[in-house]
Chain A
Amino acid sequence: MSASIANSHFILRRLHSLLGLLPVGAFLIFHLWENSQSRFGAEHYNERVVAALQEMNYLILLEIFVIALPLLLHAGYGVVIMTQMSAEPLRYPYTRHSLYWLQRLSGLGILLFLLVHVGMTRLLGIWDPTVAADLFSHMQSLLVQPWMLTVYVVGLLLSVFHLANGLATMAIVWGVTASARAQRLFGWFCVLLGLLLAALGLHGLMGFLP
């Protein structure tokens, strides 16, 4: 009997769970680390960080199959899952219940942020080569506007939260953490990871400011 493979439901849910960490979550960590090097200045960032990545072979394939498609699948199926709740958000004041809500709201928030973020960097770079050539100045011109900096800080924090909390619930889903104690301890580990990534990301954003 092989009902679990014959029925796609389980595989789809687990695929959604896995994609959130690999490759999407892993890319987020790499992306924050990569951009934290903005603090070494325009020359270092443009030539040693951005140019080095742009010169990678098969870059477009990696961007499509390792970043864009997994992200779209994770987001699309996440929205489908979201339509299946029957929730009463205010009745239960428990932490995990609040995190359940924040996970869903942050997912939607990240989608909106990514429209702005990808549109104004990667997609704009296709039409306007000067953006790709001097990404540091382009980012600086964006982030000196207080409202745009706010959008980026919020987008960053939502993404980091979504990854850290997603990792904590993923461990329950896959059966890594079963006991309440294991779930609590790993939850605190994820809090630490989230704070660390938030610090890394904020550090990167500040590095673009004059």
Chain B
Amino acid sequence: MPNTHSMSNIHLRIRRQDRPDSRPYWHEFAVQSHDEHNVLSLLMAVRADPVTISGERVEPVVWEHNCMEEVCGACAMLINGRPRPACSALVAELRQPIVLEPLPKFPVVRDLLVDRRRIDQGLTRVKAWIRIDGVWDTHAGAPRIGPDEWAANYLYSRCMSCGCCMAACPQFGENRDFLGPAPLAQVRLMNAHPTGRYDKSARLHAIMAEGGLSDCGNAQNCVRVCPKEIPLTTAIGELGRQTTLQALMDLFGAG
């Protein structure tokens, strides 16, 4: 079958950094690519032949990837100034030169690889899980959830911890307490689960402490950049309501 895709020379500008504490610098590459390619396939082409525009052979660019279909979140980076997964960034839709930088707000390990442990730490802090080992009813079989509630919950279950929402958040940063939007949205999800509800107060108390919900500044960049279109700001509004009621119950008693 003849190749009907048009080949073209794609101009890439990549921010490089050798070590976590070294100074970043830039390399430019020209890559033969189909219009249908995505940024990951460009990076693979660079890895196969890491020669810059000026003809210098350099170390291959380091980056993370895994699923290649926008469900794992590993390849999130700054592409032309916006945080997004590289696998779903199609070359044909991007202005050239395509500028790649590591995901901001997270410590750089090397080149485009960042340390995203802050996401896991946030999820741990808010107890973003459901305890099923205990002497309580775990709803073995199927928990009863109405279709409307299920549909609303499903939106939050799509989070892949890519960190784009946190990278775009003006309140989130390396030396800042704020958990960021993704862990907050998981509190919204877990609190709605029939078994997860048992730990609702504990999760709300976790997000009512330093770095929690009230550190949100309502800039709402998170909901704009989320590649999975998760209604993060709706979660934040709903958690505002839940924490308001929780504070009243803490003050006056839950009775």
Report the separation of the CA atoms of residues A2 and B202 in the bound assembly, to the nearest whole angstrom: 10
Do B171 and A13 touch (CB < 8 A)?
A: no
What distance in Å separates the Cβ of B242 from its nearest Cβ neighbour in chain A? Answer: 7
User: How many A-B contacts are there with CB distance less than 8 Å?
Assistant: 129
What distance in Å separates the Cβ of A58 from its nearest Cβ neighbour in chain B? Answer: 29
What distance in Å separates the Cβ of A50 from its nearest Cβ neighbour in chain B? Answer: 38
| Chain A residue at minimum C-beta to C-beta distance from B209 | A7
Q: Which of A4, A11, A88, A175 has the most CB of B within 10 A?
A: A4
Question: Digit string of A1-42 for contact with B (CB within 8 Å is 1, else 0)?
Answer: 111110101110110000000000000000000000000000
- Given known contacts A9-B208, A173-B218, is B237 in contact with A92 (CB within 8 Å)? no
Do B209 and A9 touch (CB < 8 A)?
A: yes
Q: Which residues of B contact A7 (CB under 8 A)?
A: 205, 208-210
Check if B238 is an interface residue, CB within 8 A of chain A: yes
Give the interface residue-count category, chain A.
35 or more
Q: Which residues of A contact B236 (CB under 8 A)?
A: 172
Q: Which residues of A contact B225 (CB under 8 A)?
A: 92
Question: Digit string of A168-184 for contact with B (CB within 8 Å is 1, else 0)?
Answer: 01001111111110110
Report the separation of the CA atoms of residues A174 and B245 in the bound assembly, to the nearest whole angstrom: 9
Do B240 and A86 touch (CB < 8 A)?
A: no
Check if B153 is an interface residue, CB within 8 A of chain A: no
What distance in Å separates the Cβ of A144 from its nearest Cβ neighbour in chain B? Answer: 40
- Given known contacts A92-B168, A172-B233, is B221 in contact with A4 (CB within 8 Å)? no
- Given known contacts A86-B173, A94-B220, A180-B231, is B240 in contact with A13 (CB within 8 Å)? no
Do B237 and A179 touch (CB < 8 A)?
A: yes
What distance in Å separates the Cβ of B173 from its nearest Cβ neighbour in chain A? Answer: 3
Q: Which residues of A contact B208 (CB under 8 A)?
A: 3-4, 7, 9-10
Check if B224 is an interface residue, CB within 8 A of chain A: yes
What distance in Å separates the Cβ of B181 from its nearest Cβ neighbour in chain A? Answer: 13
Q: Which of A4, A84, A179, A183 has a CB less than 8 Å from the CB of B215? A: A84
Report the separation of the CA atoms of residues A89 and B242 in the bound assembly, to the nearest whole angstrom: 31
| Chain B residue at minimum C-beta to C-beta distance from A87 | B170
Check if B140 is an interface residue, CB within 8 A of chain A: no
What distance in Å separates the Cβ of B251 from its nearest Cβ neighbour in chain A? Answer: 6
Check if A85 is an interface residue, CB within 8 A of chain B: yes
Report the separation of the CA atoms of residues A54 and B121 in the bound assembly, to the nearest whole angstrom: 57
Q: Which of A14, A84, A169 has a CB less than 8 Å from the CB of B218? A: A169
Q: Which of B170, B209, B239 has a CB less than 8 Å from the CB of A100? A: B170
What distance in Å separates the Cβ of A136 from its nearest Cβ neighbour in chain B? Answer: 40
Do B241 and A10 touch (CB < 8 A)?
A: no
| Chain A residue at minimum C-beta to C-beta distance from B245 | A175
Q: Which of B173, B201, B219 has a CB less than 8 Å from the CB of A96? A: B219
- Given known contacts A2-B250, A9-B214, A173-B218, is B240 in contact with A94 (CB within 8 Å)? no
Check if B244 is an interface residue, CB within 8 A of chain A: yes
Q: Which of A87, A92, A97 has the most CB of B within 10 A?
A: A92
Report the separation of the CA atoms of residues A17 and B247 in the bound assembly, to the nearest whole angstrom: 15
Do A4 and B246 touch (CB < 8 A)?
A: yes
Check if B4 is an interface residue, CB within 8 A of chain A: no
Do A92 and B224 touch (CB < 8 A)?
A: yes
Q: Which residues of B contact A178 (CB under 8 A)?
A: 234, 237-238, 240-241
- Given known contacts A85-B170, A86-B170, is B214 in contact with A97 (CB within 8 Å)? no
Q: Which of A84, A89, A175, A183 has a CB less than 8 Å from the CB of B171? A: A84
- Given known contacts A5-B247, A7-B208, A96-B219, is B237 in contact with A86 (CB within 8 Å)? no
Do A183 and B233 touch (CB < 8 A)?
A: yes
Report the separation of the CA atoms of residues A178 and B216 in the bound assembly, to the nearest whole angstrom: 14
Report the separation of the CA atoms of residues A129 and B237 in the bound assembly, to the nearest whole angstrom: 50
Do A174 and B240 touch (CB < 8 A)?
A: yes
Q: Which residues of A contact B220 (CB under 8 A)?
A: 94, 96-97, 100
Residues on B facing A (Cβ under 8 Å): 81-82, 104-105, 168, 170-178, 201-202, 204-205, 208-210, 212, 214-221, 223-225, 231, 233-234, 236-247, 250-251
Shortest Cβ-Cβ A-B pairs, 10 listed:
A86-B173, A175-B241, A178-B237, A87-B170, A175-B240, A13-B214, A100-B219, A3-B205, A96-B220, A10-B208
Could you list 15 examples of A-B contacts with CB < 8 Å? Answer: A3-B209, A4-B204, A14-B214, A14-B247, A85-B173, A89-B170, A91-B81, A92-B221, A96-B220, A100-B217, A172-B237, A176-B240, A179-B237, A180-B233, A183-B233
